[in-house]
Structure 1
Amino acid sequence: MTGSASDRMSGSTGDRMSGSASNRLTGGARDRGTGGTTVRPGLDAQGFLVREGSLARVPRPFRPVVAATRKRLTDVFGPRLHSAYLYGSVPRGTARVGRSDLDLLLALHEEPTGADRADALALGAALDGEFGQIDGCGTLLFSRARLLSDLERYDLGWFVACLCTPLLGEDLAARLPRYRPDTLLARETNGDLHLLLPRWRRRIDEAEDTAEARRPLVRSLSRHLVRTGFTLVMPRWNGWTSDLREMAEAFAGFYPERAGQLRDAAVLGLEPTGDAVVLRSYADDLGPWLAGEYARVHGVKAPRPPGWS
């Protein structure tokens, strides 16, 4: 799922459950004045997904990081940059000092080049080295045209419109539709897990045989599987959350036989170990089952052109 929504969201996540889990998850969403109709978290009264972050929610310790990022993006990319966005725990207000990373998405006027990617890596490394508040900085780069393309409307387009917070430039969300948590969105965001599994197995095989080397892989794959499990049930659950634990609980309501595995993955997505057995179970058991069930329920993601990653 290279470049998929689940990969992009695996940069950072809500670190704690917000609000009452029982109210948010067990069929008990809030009544928002819709004549008694239950409206799930993450939706407006018309059932559309609402944008989850804002600059106003950035925790105070992270505001100097965001201010420096805004200035340096302009300095580094200049006229190449169309717009820039934050996503993840920082704009959601759930970031933890020294534990959370800074996640950026950049829309360029043209397709990103190798030089663009090198500049983004250097900028991220500089920010990470200067600001102890963050534990890493990851940057995604795409062309404006790709983000607005028909092919990406229900993957990258949705990601920008619903999970990204504008930082600089024209907000592309104004040029994108509103989204519902339906099967089309589920299929296009995470309907390519079957393509990822061979790559996961190669990464596991090639990883250095130490817990420290495996820990980032456990973190990444755990988050990916939890988010894929959540979007599998999202149309039936009819709502949105970016909290891993909430995602696992939503999934558990529909697949109790696999609930324990996804709950464990949610824990490891937040506090990863370097357990090789866990990685093998993801690649050989939970992952293949989830890929098969996803294809059965929603179908598979529309194929992308070669090199479109």
Structure 2
Amino acid sequence: MHLTTIDPNDPFQPNYQPAIGEMLSYLKSGLGKNLHSVYLYGSVARKTAKPGHSNLDVIVVTHKSFGDVRTTLFNSIKWRFQKTYPFITEVSFKTALVDDVASLEGILSWGFLLKHCSVCIEGEDLSECFGDYEPSWEIAKHWNMDVEDWLAVYRNRIARADKDEDQARAQKIIAKKLLRASYSLVMYRDKKWFDDPIECGQQFLNYFPEKQIEIERLGILLSGRMIAKRSVIGILDSFGDWLVQQYKKTEFRIG
């Protein structure tokens, strides 16, 4: 069973159309002929973005490195968007070279991301270099076997956060990672792919209904609601450790 793709002909939400157009103008102006293609992924690409809650997630593919202007260009776009489009919580960029994307080594990383999680909005669509993907443990572990490292990093950030907004931001990021990693654990059995973290959690419960409370708590963290630090860390330690062990067991069994 092939995984679904995002329909490139489905129009973006009206709130985001001007921002997408302006962002493309900045990238074309700043990169010129070095720009190969631009993609959106995440909720804006899926047309499910919520003003005040959703990022604008962008992939920029170039012919050669642009490290000399990268920081200036991206910071300028982010600064302008804070002023002009305050309902976009953040503009997030990933960058890649054409040769790295269209390579054998990029099949599980760039290939999967462009084919099933993104939509091309400028230039040659490199997703056409790849065939359709099927749900597999190889895809799941490529994207989520690092969950143990994420837990360590964000547990530390939450413990050290001295501002509510910093803690809330860290909570949301790690909750999103854990919910998606939860579904990836069962994706090879469920034979589907979900990107929305809440939906990932609900589908995961079809296989592990005893984790209902943990998934509900992760949903609370994802909402940005402030929770006592010890409670957040308790969730990360209990459910996070369980999830890490499940990945290791599955990898040992499947390989």
Same fold judged by TM-score > 0.5? yes
> 2:30 maps to what in 1?
76
**Residues 265-293 of structure 1, C-alpha deviation per residue, up to 9 Å, x if partnerless?**
13432344253134312442221211110
Amino acid of the structure 2 residue aligned with 1:115: V
Please name the residue that 1:173 is paired with.
Answer: 127
Per the alignment, do residues 203 and 86 of structure 1 end up closer, same or farther by CA in structure 2, a change over 3 Å counting?
same
Q: 1:289/1:52 Cα in 2 relative to 1: closer, same or farther (>3 Å)?
A: same
Matched residue, 1:11:
none
Indicate the residue corresponding to 1:38 in structure 2.
none
Paired residue type of 2:25: K
Residue number in structure 2 paired with 1:144: 98
Identify the residue that residue 262 of structure 1 maps to in structure 2.
215
Which of 16, 27, 49 aligns to 2:3? It is: 49
CA contact (8 A) 1:147 1:157 kept: yes
Q: How does 1:190-229 map to 2 (within 5 A)?
A: 190-208=144-162, 210-229=163-182
- Aligned counterparts of 1:193 and 1:177: Cα–Cα separation in 2: 27
Paired residue for 2:196? 243
Aligned in 2, Cα 1:96/1:55: closer, same or farther, shift over 3 Å? farther
Identity, % of aligned pairs?
Answer: 23
**CA gap 1:275/1:80 in 2 versus in 1, 3 angstroms:** farther
* 1:25-45 CA-partner distances (Å, limit 9, x unpaired): xxxxxxxxxxxxxxxxxxxxx
Per-residue CA deviations over 1:71-91 (Å, capped at 9, x if unaligned) read 221011212221111111122
1:187 to 141, 144, 147: 141
Instruction: Give the match's secondary structure for 2:96.
Output: strand
Contact in 1 for aligned 2:112/2:133 (Cα 8 Å): yes
Does the 8 Å CA contact 1:160/1:173 hold for their aligned counterparts?
Answer: yes
Counterpart among 122, 126, 140 of residue 80 in structure 2: 126
Give, in whole Å, the separation in 1 of the partners of 2:41 and 2:139. Answer: 19
What is the distance in 1 between the residues matched to 2:109 and 2:235?
24
- Normalization by structure 2: what TM-score? 0.89
Task: Indicate the SS of the match to 1:285.
Answer: helix
- For 1:92, the equivalent position in structure 2 comes to 46
Structure 1 unaligned spans of 5+: 1-46, 303-309
Q: Read off the aligned partner of 1:200 and give its amino acid letter.
A: Y
Structure 2 spans left out of the alignment, 5+ residues: none
RMSD of aligned residue pairs (Cα, Å): 2.3
For residue 298 of structure 1, what is the aligned residue in structure 2?
251
- In structure 2, what is the Cα distance between the partners aligned to 1:229 and 1:239? 13
| Per-residue deviation, 1:177 | 2.8
TM-score normalised over the length of structure 1:
0.75
* C-alpha distance after superposition, 1:88-107 (max 9, x if no partner): 11221212233322111111
Deviation at residue 53 of structure 1 after TM alignment:
5.1
* Higher RCO (Cα < 8 Å, 6 or more apart): 1
Q: Aligned to 2:16, what secondary structure does the other structure show?
A: helix
Moved more, 85-94 or 276-285: 276-285
**Which one has a larger percent helix, Structure 1 or Structure 2?**
2
**Deviation digits for residues 113-152 of structure 1 (CA, Å, limit 9, x no counterpart):** 2631442232122123212342221111122233233333
Q: 1:156 aligns with which of 88, 110, 124?
A: 110
Q: 1:112 to 1:269 in 2, by over 3 A?
A: farther
Distance 1:285 1:66 in 2: 40
Task: Name the CA distance, whole Å, in 2 between partners of 1:49 and 1:112.
Answer: 33
Report the Cα distance in structure 1 between the residues aligned to 2:235 and 2:110, rounded to whole angstroms: 25
Q: Which amino acid aligns with 2:105?
A: L
**How many corresponding residue pairs?**
254
3-state DSSP of counterpart to 2:106: coil
